[in-house]
Amino acid sequence: MQFNDRVLDEANSKGVPLLERLKFLGISASNLDEFFMIRFPSVLREESSDPQIRDQILEAVLSFHSRQERCHRSLKKQLQEEGIEIVTDKKQIETLGAEIFESEIAAHLDVAGESLDHFLSKFENHRVGFIFSNGLSYKLPPNLDSFYLRRIEKNFYIFILDDLVEVFLQKLHPHLGKPIRFRMTRDADVRVDIDSEDPEAIPDIVKKRVRSRDEGKWTRCLIRADPQVNPDTLLQKIKVPPSQCFFLNHSLLLKACFEAACKVSGELSSESPLVYPPVRSYLPKELSKPSQIFSSLLKRDYLLHHPYDSFEAVVNFVRAAVDDPNVLSIQQTVYRVDALSEVTNLLKKAASQKKVSVYIEPRARFDELNNIQLAEDLRRAGVKVVFPFGEWKIHAKLILVERKDPGGKRERFTHLSTGNYNSKTARLYTDFGVLTARPQVGEDAALFFDSIRKGEVPTQLSHLLVAPTQLHKRLQLLIAQETREARSGKDARIVVKVNALVDRKIIQSLYAASQAGVKLDLIVRGACSLVPGIPELSENIRVISIVDRYLEHSRIYYFQSSNQLYLSSADWMPRNFFSRLEIAYPILDERIFRYITQDVIPCYLADNQKARRLHEDGKWRPVKDSKSQDHRAQFVFEKFSQSEYRNTQLANSISF
């Protein structure tokens, strides 16, 4: 919830272009949806949890809704001044939205043909419903767009679905007054263990469990109703505690603001002050031509920092493997991919010429059905599809290409990443990837894939750290080593960048390191259970969070005394350490090592525009540094890439 507060801060930030602020408002609503589907139910299920914690959460949500409403009202007014109107006025909807309703919506509305009890008992997760005073009920089908856009000359009119439908339902039933509008959230945290020995049965197992999301307990109800309308009948029948029902004065589909803002942005000039200018992603010339990639990788490693560096480099790496007749095999993990992935299309093409294996996670939350469909498509093309096993999800991100050079020598080329093979999110998330031909990395990657194919947990890797077998133990040892160095009077430092830090044992080790004198800088985007700045416990720990244009998604682990630097797919959470197949990979290239430790890490820590600092009272506050020049990390990284890294440590070419 505190992270979502920081997201909403961006929606209120005057320094952020107006349509970008509307996107952040939509993101805050989507985040809250997921919170009540996944995080909050875990609190309700925890028998030992303190009811006060639940009550504090709900009080925070109530306060958050008030902030959202004020933000929505302010943005609506400011956008209207720019010729972009979120239409909520009844007469305006009737005039401008009639054609949309008749042609796009009317034929698809679901009217309840059964009792209200039955209607509500079968109500799906996150559907929007309408109930009139006489019990007549409607619900919005899932195939409708959440918003509709009309452009009249230079003006844009945004109609959010539930606002639009309510007006025309009232026209259809003029004597019934205004309906109660509501949207329900269910516990959607379904668990799918793949313990079947029959790979063919896995898709059906996953599909069955995913369908149960519409059978989970209700965790929240959003309600929009006039003050004179009594919602008691609804509240009694849905049996949601009153504290988990929230009355709103705006659309119940506020998440539509994100896509609506994207749609309007796409119709504006790239020079419009209402949007961020498009990022000009850098593509190193050695990676721009697939035919040159393998020879370039044999000389040195390449670091990719998305979205500042183009995802096309990854696509070209796969294209090089597909087109090269000397390539024997391609292996890749898949957690989340975009619907029209160029990478998967290339793999399908390659399957008729060489051995192609894709290791797909069918339990990636909310992408289960997409991944099962992808698996079926790949199999039809001749790709060998491997599903994981037991409780462990494949969350590691890597591609391994095996090749024989013209002289018969075996070569391995590896791409390892902190983020998904998804060209869409590669433009929205910050992630690191490394391309390398180092034999020791390629050998470990091959062992990783071999183990999964055999249904075994990878062990005994020499360079890559794998969860659930190695990663947690190794991190504890690295923290302990920094602690010993500090106790002996030497300089010791740990820098960690993750999305979440909630593992209890790791946190205890970090506290011990702080007490020994280790200097710790933690860049934690979201949840952080460690409290910094407490005398004699965590006074040597600084925690910041950066929320900006791009979602910070990369993970960095740096241990100064041991001179160890890793990039990883894993956050510091029990699920990443013990319930997922994760990889942390060492930075072995001196040039990349220096760039991350001397350019990237200092750049993040110097941010005084979008960084918030966690204080000993558990509150996040903006970093105040009036003595220094304005420094915004994401803007600096963009300048690095646009200058082709000439003024950074990457400029000094080192080969191996």
Active-site positions?
395
Contact of 574 with 506, CB cutoff 8 Å: no
For residue 247, the surrounding DSSP H or E stretch is: strand 245-247
Measured between its terminal Cα atoms, the distance across the chain in Å is 46
From CA 88, how far away is CA 637, in angstroms rounded?
A: 40
From CA 184, how far away is CA 137, in angstroms rounded?
A: 15
Contact of 655 with 588, CB cutoff 8 Å: no
From CA 373, how far away is CA 361, in angstroms rounded?
A: 12
From CA 138, how far away is CA 128, in angstroms rounded?
A: 9
CA 264 to chain centre: 23
Contact of 468 with 448, CB cutoff 8 Å: no
Q: Tokens for 178? A: 């205004």
The DSSP bridge pattern shows strands 110-111 and 137-139 to be antiparallel
Q: Is 398 helix (H, G, I), strand (E, B) or coil?
A: strand
Q: Is 595 helix (H, G, I), strand (E, B) or coil?
A: helix
From CA 398, how far away is CA 414, in angstroms rounded?
A: 7
Which residues are paired to 355 by β-bridges? Answer: 329
Residue 520 sits at φ, ψ, to 5 deg, of -120, 130
- Peptide bond preceding 307 in cis form (omega within 30 of 0): yes
